[in-house]
Amino acid sequence: MRRVGGLFERITSFENLLAAARAAYRGKRFLPAPAEFQHGLEPNLLELQEELRSGGYWPGAYHAFWIHDPKRRLISAAPYRDRVVHHAVCRVVEPIFDRTFIFDSYANRLGKGTHRALARCTAFCRRWRFVLKCDIEKFFPSVDHEVLLRLVARKIKCAQTLELLRRIVASSNPQEPVVRYFPGDDLFSPFERRRGLPIGNLTSQFLANVMLNPLDHFVKDHACSPAFRRSWFVVPPSGGLRPVLDEDEETRPPEGGATNGAGRPPEGGTTNG
C-alpha cells in the first residue's frame, strides 16, 4: 500500500486552519466559545499554527455528559480550538483514506449518509432473502489505540501528522469500561490497553471508518458477500449466513472488537424458496 507523506504543512497552513475554523463555526455562531474564538480569529489561528508547528500543541480536557438516544451514551465535547484542529486534520487526511473505503460504507462520508444507505439496503433486500444484521458491541469505547494508530500508519508516513493524530487519540477521556480477553492475555492485559474514542469528535467519526475498513473489505472481498452495507451483511441463500459468521469469528475483525448478529429474513420479506 502506497504511503502518503508531506501532509503536516498542508494541515497547519493558515488557509487550511481558516477553512477549518469556518467549518467548525457553522451552526454555532451564538455559542460563547465559538463566538469568542471568532472575535479574535486571526491571532487565535496564528497562535494555534505556532503551537502545532513547534510541537507544543496538546488537546485540552473534554466536557462529558450523558444522553439517551435511545440508549444511554457518553458524549464528549472537545474545547472549541481543538475542534478547529480536528477539522483541519480531517480536511487533509480524510480524503486519502476515503479512497480506500468500500462503496457501501455510508457513515460520515461526503456524498453518502443515512438516506442513500437506506435506499441501497432496500435494493439489496429485494434481491436476496436473508439478512444478517450486526453491530460492534460498545464500538467507540472498545477501539484499541495501538491497533488504530497502526492502521493509520499503513497509509500515512508523515511523522508529524502521525504524532498529531496520536496526541488527539491519546487525549481521549475515559469511556465506558470494556473488558475483553484474547489469546496470550494475562489477567491485567485488558486494563493495560488504551481504549476508547470520544463520541462527539469529528476525528472519532473519521477514525471509526478507518478502524472498520478491514472488516468491510474482509466481508466484501474475502467472505464473497456481493451485497454488503456497513452494519448489514446480505448474503444470497446459495452462500448461506453461517460460513460468513464462522470466518468472521476466526479472523476477529476489527481487532479488539466483538460482534452481535442474527440472521433473519428482511422485514416484509420471505423465507420461502
pLDDT 10s digits, 50-98: 999 999 999 999 999 999 988 889 999 999 999 999 999 999 999 999 9
Q: What is the mean pLDDT of the chain?
A: 84
The residues, any chain, with a CB within 8 Å of residue 101's CB and separated by 6 or more, are 109, 209, 213, 216
The residues, any chain, with a CB within 8 Å of residue 271's CB and separated by 6 or more, are 129, 130, 265
Residues in the chain: 273
Tell the burial category of 155 from Cβ atoms under 10 Å away from its Cβ (0-12, 13-18, 19+). Answer: middle
The region, left, alpha or beta by phi > 0 then psi within -120 to 50, assigned to residue 153 is alpha
**What is the helix (H) or strand (E) element at residue 72, kind and residue range?**
strand 72-77
Residue 46 scores a pLDDT above 90: yes
**What's the confidence (pLDDT) of residue 260?**
55
HSE-up (13 A, CA, CB side) for residue 180: 19
Range with the poorest average pLDDT among 37-46, 125-134, 167-176, 230-239: 230-239
**What's the confidence (pLDDT) of residue 273?**
39
pTM equals 0.80
Helix, strand, coil content of the chain in percent (nearest 5): 50, 15, 40
Cα(266)–Cα(247) distance, rounded to whole angstroms? 23
**What's the confidence (pLDDT) of residue 253?**
46
pLDDT 10s digits, 210-225: 999 998 888 887 765 5
- Determine contact, residues 206/87, Cβ cutoff 8 Å: no
- Domain map of the chain by residue range? 7-179+191-223
Range 24-49 average pLDDT? 96
**What's the confidence (pLDDT) of residue 149?**
97
**What's the confidence (pLDDT) of residue 111?**
87
